[in-house]
Amino acid sequence: MSRLLDRMQSLSAAEDFFAMLQVPYDPVVLQVARLHILRRMGQYMAEETLAAMTDDAAEEACRVTLQRAYEDFTQSSPLQQRVFKVLKEAVSPQRGAFVALSDIMDDAES
């Protein structure tokens, strides 16, 4: 399995991952969501126990997780999937600071 990880660590572009794992893709989808797809793949990979697998089984697991991550973004947008913290926080309820009316009024007005 270490050979597979060595090969994957040497890759630099999302297209390289798709080519190495032989996963077909639409360049338009990849252009928009490349980092999101790879991040989601990493999330899915964290659920796998690759160390206990043979090289072939680990490569198949990687192929399946990449395909699964890619399909997530063919069915919805990065904004809907929210794999990055900044997108998750963009929809979390914002609690504004409370300022009492008495704090902003002049003494003469109160």
Q: What is the DSSP string of 73-100?
A: HHHS-HHHH--SHHHHHTTSPP-PPP--
Kindly state the percentage of the chain with pLDDT values over 70. Answer: 74
What mean pLDDT value characterizes the chain?
80
- The ranges assigned to domains in the chain are 2-104
Q: Note the pLDDT tens digit of each residue in 37-85.
A: 888 888 888 887 877 788 888 899 999 999 999 998 888 765 555 665 6
